[in-house]
Amino acid sequence: MKILVTGSKGQLGQSLVRLLEARNDVEFIALDRDKLDITNKQEVDSVVVAFSPDVVINAAAYTAVDKAESETKLAAAINRDGPSFLAEAAQKVGAALLHISTDYVFDGKNAEPYSEQDQTAPQSVYGQTKLEGELAVASACERHIILRTAWVFSEYGNNFVKTMLRLAETHDNLNIVGDQLGGPTYALDIAKALVLISDQITTGRDVEYGTYHFSGLPHVSWYEFARAIFSAAEKQTLIAKRPVLKSITTAEYPTAATRPANSKLNVQKIFNHFEIEASDWQRALNDLSAYQNNG
C-alpha cells in the first residue's frame, strides 16, 4: 500500500507518521507545506503523479479559526483550493482521497448530534472554506472519504489539553466556556481510523465512499473537558493543585469567529460501515506527561 500524507507536521499528520512508520507493508511519503504547497496545482500534480499513491490522506488545513475571519483568501486557498487540486490529482492516478473536515460546517443549533445527512450552515469563514473543500473533493474525486471531526487534541502542536496544562502552572482560577458541547477527539484515534479505512480500500473490500463523522464520546462542554484534564493531571502528579474553574457562557468570551454551540457528531455510520468506534478521549488523558514533553 502506498500512501501520500499532506500536512505532516500538524497534530493529525504527526500521528499518521507515527502509525505508518510502524508498518512494514506500507510505503508512504509525508509532506508538510515546506515540501508540498497544496495550493499550487502544478506542484500537487507533479508530486501525486510521480509517487502514484493508492491513497492520499489530506491532513493539511488552515485551522486558525479566528484569524480566518480576516485572512479569508489564505483560508480559502488552503481549505478549498488545495483539496480541490489533491482530488483532481488523485482522480488522475486512480487513488482514493481521504480528506479531513470539521463540525464547523454546521450552525450548531441542533439539539441532537449531527448526522452526515444534516443540513450544513457554516457560521464562520473557517467553516465555510472547509465546506467548500468538501464540495470540491466530492465533485473531483469519485473514490473519496470526507471525515468530519471535532475538538482535536494530541501530544503534538497546540490544542486545548496542552493549553490547560500550561495555564495550570500560572493560574489559580480559570473561566471556561460551558455552553458549547462536543466530542473531544484524540488525533491518534483519527489516524487509526484513516489507516484502517485505507487498508480496507487497498485490500479490495467493498467501501462506501462519501462523508463520515468521527469524534469522541462522551460528549461534554469545554468546562467539563477542562475539569477532566485537571483531574487526570492531578492524579498523575503533573500539577500541584488544580485551578478553580468557573463555567462561563459563550457571550462572556467573545471571539472573532462564531463557534457552534452544538458540535456533537453522530458517529454511528462509521461504526456501521467500518466497525470504527468513537474516540475514547478519556483514555487518551491517561499519560499527560507526553503532552508536556512535545512541542
Listed in sequence order, the DSSP H helices in 2-51 are: 11-20, 41-51
Strand partners, 27: 2
Listed in sequence order, the DSSP H helices in the chain are: 11-20, 41-51, 72-76, 82-93, 125-140, 160-168, 187-202, 222-235, 268-274, 289-293
Q: Which of 62, 126, 212, 223 is catalytic?
A: 126
Do the Cβ atoms of 88 and 46 come closer than 8 Å?
no
**In the annotation, is 126 catalytic?**
yes
H or E element at residue 246: strand 244-248
From CA 175, how far away is CA 241, in angstroms rounded?
A: 16
Do the Cβ atoms of 50 and 29 come closer than 8 Å?
no
Q: Residue 208: is it exposed, middle or buried by C-beta count within 10 angstroms (0-12/13-18/19+)?
A: exposed
From CA 77, how far away is CA 38, in angstroms rounded?
A: 9
From CA 72, how far away is CA 34, in angstroms rounded?
A: 21
H or E element at residue 30: strand 27-31
User: Grid coordinates standing for 266?
Assistant: 453522530
Active site residues: 126
